[in-house]
Amino acid sequence: MKVAVVGATGLVGTKMLQVLAERNFPVTELIPVASAKSIGKEITFKGKQFKVVSVEDAIKQKPDVAIFSAGGSASLEQAPLFAAAGTTVIDNSSAWRMDPTKKLVVPEVNADVLTPEDKIIANPNCSTIQMVVALKPLHDAYKIKRVVVSTYQSVTGTGVKAVDQLFNERKGIDGPKAYPYTIDLNVLPHIDVFTENGYTKEEMKMVKETVKIMGDENIKVTATTVRIPVMGGHSESVNIEFENEFDLAEVRDLLSKAPGIVVVDDVANLKYPTPLEAHDKDDVFVGRIRRDETQGKTLNCWIVSDNLRKGAATNAVQIAEYLVAKNLIGQAVEA
């Protein structure tokens, strides 16, 4: 299978290459694509060297699938060009997520919506992905009415510049800033730009994307998204109100058996998920599972996942794996 990775030299693009290799995705030919300044550079994939090419050159090679992590404006311009050439695009930016003609997919939740006609598929926001993986089995069992979520998000979600800012500040070095304030030893209740309603775009992404992925407009979501000085993954405090009563033991059992989830919930032995524990893993970790004692039919839990993996690269690769398994793309259709 001919696979293009667009944005191959970036933080998420690099992670996508790593995940493709680790999961043994059937890559017969890799086409790394990046911006003009990176064309001609070499990247290593499975011990072999590959030269970075331009978008135009990549499209001419007619890849079966193109996994995009090149930013929204690049995706809006370039994804349709790949799709017109017959390539299935899996896009990690926000460009297509709320487009009513495009599917927004988390494989554990709604992969069954995909068809061979879906040539541009949107990969959701990182903080939304990990939350809906945990919400899905609970919604199926008890029907979710409302979700209140506060996030604690890694600087890796902003990119290399933010990681550099954190470590520069830690060393007392003055350098380029990704954030308007110091991030080391600080917390910023501000991810993406503020919108007219006082929420940030990140918060509104969680609200709108959750409804679209879960396929239920009756689910109400309110979010506060926060950047904290950590690496490894995003954490979320989630309060979930159900229509139906639940049993805590059954909740733990449902989550334990659900695809992509690892329950780490043994407070007697101080076992709960942390971003350091989630780092470089593909799972969504759930702990601190307890009843909200102030309101009926309401659950509190803590959800942690590596935002560069399940929150971005792994989810995109899992979509591609599903397309292959169901004979929805490329060589698999002809085989």
Q: Which residues are catalytic?
A: 126, 234
Please indicate if the annotation marks 9 as binding a ligand: yes
User: Taking the CB of residue 53, how many other CB atoms lie within 10 A of it?
Assistant: 20
Please indicate if the annotation marks 49 as binding a ligand: no
Q: What CA–CA distance (Å, rounded) separates 165 from 81?
A: 36
Structure tokens at 240: 């979930």
What single string gives the DSSP state of each residue in 59-76? Answer: HHT--SEEEE-S-HHHHH
Q: What CA–CA distance (Å, rounded) separates 32 from 259?
A: 30
Dihedral Cα 266, 272, 276, 281, nearest 10 deg: 80
Please indicate if the annotation marks 153 as binding a ligand: yes
Q: 282: closest CA among 18, 11, 77? A: 18
Q: What is the CA radius of gyration of the chain?
A: 20
Please indicate if the annotation marks 11 as binding a ligand: yes
Report the amino acid identity of residue 266. D
Structure tokens at 222: 């309110």
Please indicate if the annotation marks 38 as binding a ligand: yes
Please indicate if the annotation marks 276 as binding a ligand: no
* Residues whose CB falls within 8 Å of the CB of residue 228, separated by 6 or more in sequence, listed in order: 152, 153, 154, 155, 187, 188
Q: What is the separation of C-alpha 36 from the centre of its chain, rounded to a whole number of angstroms?
A: 26
Q: 7: closest CA among 62, 86, 69? A: 69
Phi first, then psi, for residue 215 (nearest 5°) are 70, 30
Q: What CA–CA distance (Å, rounded) separates 158 from 74?
A: 17
- For CA atoms 210, 241, 307, 317, the dihedral sign is negative
Which residues participate in the annotated binding site for substrate? 153, 227
Which residues participate in the annotated binding site? 9-12, 37-38, 97, 153, 227, 307
